[in-house]
Each structure stands twice: as C-alpha cells, then as structure tokens.
Chains A and B, each alone.
Chain A
C-alpha cells in the first residue's frame, strides 16, 4: 500500500522510460517526427501540373520568369512551372535527369562554365535542342552580338541562348582617384593602358594600406579576364585547349608580379573575391579599383552601401595601346531539352523571357544591372538613366559602349578541369615569384602552364571522337 502511495505520475513515467527497450532517444525523435507529420497532413502541398517545366538557379530570374509565366498563361492558356533550384544543385540534378532520361525539364538555365559539360557526345544525343533554326527563323541572330552565342555553340549547333553578355569595366573609387588625376590634368578615361594606369596612379599607392587594384591571385577569376582581354582564352573556337599558348604565358608573366612583388612595387592586393572582406577592402580604400562585370556592380551596390556616390566605372585600361578596353566574365544560357513535350511552346516561352519587350529587360537591368544581349532592348530608358550610386553615371550606357567588343568565350566539357589546373598554376607561379623574383620567371610560367594543359589534354585524349562515331 505504502509503495502505491509514492507511485506518482512522474515516477511511473520514469519507470516506463527505464523499461523501454530502446531508451529515450528514438522516443523523442519519433515524437517530433510524428508532430511534424501531423502538421504536414493538415497542410498538404497543393498539386500542380503545368504544360512546361523550367529550372532556374537565380532567385531574381525565377521571380521575373514567374511573373512572365503569368502573362504567358493569360496569352496562351498554357502554364509554366518555374522551379528555383540552387546553383550548385541544378547541374547535378540535370545530369541525373538526362542520364536517367526521366523527369527532364522542358527549359533550363545553366551557368556558362558548366554548359560545355552538357554538350558532350554525338550531336543527336546531346540533351538540348539545336536552337539555331529557331533563332534564324525568328530573325533573332541579328539582334544578338555574335560573341554571346560562342559559349553555347558546339560543332555548329547552338544549344543555348544567352541571358547576358557580362562586359567587364573597371569600378573605381572616384572620390579618391578623380581629384588626384584632376590635379594632374588627367581623367580616368585618359589612362588607356594598364601601364598608364599603374604609372599615373602610383602616387596613391601606400604599401600595406592602399593598393591600386583588387586582384585575387588564388583563383583564375582575374586571370581569365586579363587573358580574354589580350585575345586569349582557356579554349579556342575549335574546342582546342589553349591555356598554355603565348598569350597565356604573357598574361601570367604580367599579372603575377602585380600581386607578388614586395614593397612599393606591389600594386595589387585582395581580401577575397566573394566574401564580406572584399567589400570591406573596397569601403576602407584598401584597394581603389576592382574588375567589374555588370553583375558585380549590382553586388557592390547591395553590399557596399557606404560607397554610394563614391564609385564610377570606366573602360578597362588596355594591355597595349589600341587594345581591347573590356573583357567578360560569367554568363547564363537557356536551353530547351530535346525531350521537351512541346518544343515549339517551350521556344515561345523562351522567346518571351529572353527576347521580349525592351521594358521587360529594362526592369531586369534596374534590379540586377545585367545587360541583355538583345540589342533592341538597349534603347529602353533604364539603360540611360543616371545612377546616383555610381556618381550619376548612366551605368547602362557604360556597359553598352563596350558590349559589342566583348571577347568571345568558348565552352568545353573539360572547362572545370582546365580551370582547376589553371588555379593550381596561378598559385604555383605566385609562390615561385615570391621566392625567386623575376629571375627565370617566364620560363617557369611556360613550363607550369604547359604541365597543367598537358594534364587536361590527357583527359581530353580519352574522349571518344563523337563526330567519327556519327
């Protein structure tokens, strides 16, 4: 009787828990799972079946296309399900879908450096439709700079249409540079070559406190911009690897000393390309200029608000007098899957979002600063309005001015591998210059690039000759 009197509810629970063969852990986990399951049961996911499915990896793109899908549905009575998928996952997911030949989206956006990987294999087995006939039929080819299609063209077929062309300009601290140059009777636009740039601004250089340019030597990002500006590239138009040609050697031999020299001979530095410290360095004037594709100008606006009214853009100084004053970096394509249920309908939607009204592109430019390759849209006022953040410059006009000169970028299925080897070569050249200086540097660069390129060539040699198989 006495024992029963002290057998309280907590006591019973404790005993029951003690006697439970599996203990507390599964009980707790099962309880949370059960509660969540009940929640999901009373909040079911609404089913939807659309006429077209589209995968997109950029949130801003997804928002814009969802809005466009609404208008498209009103005009055509056909629906489009725009699905936002993380940038890193979209390629993996698409590859799985294409390999397994199941659940392939009708339309998909792919980042430029990954695009080439999807064009491998016999032409008629590539997972995307050749859009060239569509572009020709609807007279769109004339509206798009030819270089914009280069990355998505393989063996004559155009497997993707470009969302952007991403010209590169120089974003610089106008509050620091312009008054300095003005005192010397110069303007930024007068600095026609990189030699001019570093020479005329040398007075602003303070070792360990202020550098003239932001260059991240640890990845190939800046190197590729300089390489393309000099007319080089990782791959050529014929798919040939050219990352160790004379232009690449000259670019590396020129670029590395900018960051690897010591004392006041070092003119460039970086605190990172993609992390908060990049913006911090720009805000604090640790570097006073940065390579700036159109999309990066939007990131700078968002994350370096303190620089409002202090920045301007200018054409890139050229490698040599009369040389190219721009380059390009990044890009996105839109492809239509060969397995699309209704390719014509998919093309209609693709056309409506990529080659729609100028106002539509103008809206995108106001939000993202991204320049469309559709020349017809460049007349929209959005590209010509002054931007207070950029010291009142009409940002769109600056990018449009160099848009047709943007060098072509050639894609390849081996691009990620080549970029990885290029990164290794850059880091290695940097270390070599730090330890040995200019002595024998060019020979070292050539040997290092050749070795990296040979590695990629060996991989490429294992690729079957698709055209011969056909």
Chain B
C-alpha cells in the first residue's frame, strides 16, 4: 500500500495542449508573449500547492508535420525561451518549482548549466531542468553546424536517438560537475589574507567527451539546491528503454496509456541499473477537468477539425474521477503526475483547485508547502559536492 501525498506537476505550453485551446473564452491568447500571462498561470499553480511547473520549448516552430513547418494559421505558433521565462516567474512566486525545457543537442553545456544554476539562485532553490534532445533536420538547419537526417515518423532512427541521448547524458554530467565545482563554503572573505575565495574549494571538472570537452570551474557559485532537479520525458523508444533517465535524471516522465501499461513501464524503469536515489517516476496525462470536461474537449476537437491525439493518455472527466484514476495508477508504482492541461485557464484551474481538493479529501495531497526548495518538495536530500573531502581525510 502506497501512502503519503502524490506529487503533482503541470506542463505549461501556450494556451494549453489542445491545438484549439487558444480560441476558448478566457484564453487571452493575445497575451501569450507577455510576462503577465505566464505569471498568472504560475500563480494559479502555486495557489494549488503543486510541486512544480514545466515549460515547453523547442528550437523549431510548432507544426503538425514531423519535421517541416506547416502553413496552418489556426494554431498557436511561437514560444519564448523557457529558461528565461522561468527566471521571470521566480520573483513572482515563492514555493513552486520551475522546470524549463532546454535542449542539449545544439547548445553549449556550459551555458545551459550556468543558466539553470542562475535560475536556482534567483528562485532560491526551486530550479529544475527538463532535458530535451533535438532529432529534427529543420532544427539542425537553424544552427548549420551538424547534419541530422530528416525525421521520418515511419522509420524510427534508434541509432540517432541513442546518440542524441548519450550526448544529453554527457551534458547533464557536465552540468552536475559544474554545479558541484564550487564547494558550499568556497567563499571565505578572509580580510587578513585578502582572499575572497578558498581556491582549493573551486575545482576544474576536466570533462572530456565525444561531443565536447569542458574545463571548468563554473562561473556561477554553487546553486542553493546543490544540484537542481533534472527531468527527462522518455517514451521508451531506445534499444535500452529508459536508460537516459535512469543514468542522468532525478525524475522521468513516462506516457502509459492505462494502469497495466503503467505497471509494465515502472517495472522496466526499475530494471535499469542506477546509482544513488531511486528515480522518481511521473506519468504524463493530458487532462480536461470538470463536470463539462468531455463537452469542452468535443467542442475544441470540432474547432480544430480533428480528434485530439497525444503521446500521453487523454483523460476528460470530473476532478473526482481524475483523482480516483491517479490513485489507481499510484498502486502501479507511479509516484507523481505531470498533467498537461488541455485548455488554459479552465483545465489549469481544474487541476489546481478541483483536483487538489479531491485528492485532499482522499488524504492524498498536501495542505501546505512543506519545503522551500524543489528537492525538499520531492523528498530528495541536498547532495554534498562530489569534490568536497571529509575533514581530515586526504583528497
């Protein structure tokens, strides 16, 4: 019997995950590229006592085609950089975790690591990083440095995906070494000797890999959380399913279609060898919440001209129905859920108000935030720097 409260996160993307969501009354889609719009969403999620929000991002324009842009004008197009958006939410929130998406495929690991470390500083310990890879030729063409074959939905290029995931694991390793490269007590402000830092507590990371080498140390002091949370969405499509999250992440988002599927996925995730804290398994669900949920979804499908499809299971129902389903999947080993609101703000409110109340009635959700940091909310300890040596012990 699983006890304790569920972890809940919400995945923010534009006006919601339904392509016609921006057309709903109350959507305020013209404000999509303003800070005010996103601050309202984060505020709603925080009032609901959710663990964290993730923010979607990609190096390509949204499209209904696998690799090319389409010419549709009736769906949301355009996004802000997720890390910077998360940073602008930090002073406007106090407790909720902020987990932006940042790609590893075309970026500098050093810049990404320092960006996430800075997000942790400006949020005083609430940062995470949703690691994403970029398997599309169109995204590679935006950088012009690397050739990646055009994405073919009929042919899954497992070798390419494995390579991109391996590079992502290297980028995460670099980030963690950089975050650790300042020991917690590196800043000493010793007036007598004139030293601002104890240089022996700043460390070169000397990472040397297939795609990049990074010397270090970080330019940003150690983040408040020690190591910000790393999360990965994984559909189990590589030769060794879930290897990247098992090796590199603190949280994996998985996409089971039903309870039996959830149990199978949990079993496969747990089968991958891993050092350290057990990987936290969250299930992604695309949800429409409320007494009118099914009707709203049907209306949006009609506006878009197609039934909604998603890699995540789609659930439309009342808050109580959804709460019962989450608790049922918890029995299969799912520890938390990342909910994708079908339409914003209706389904975000449905999650943050209706669902949390329903879960509290079942004794399965918090009444108040119990920690100031995201690691604390997730029950993860703050790790010591790997470079710190115990007092009296030689390095």
Asked whether A and B interact, the reply is no
B residues contacting A by CB (< 8 A) are none
A residues contacting B by CB (< 8 A) are none
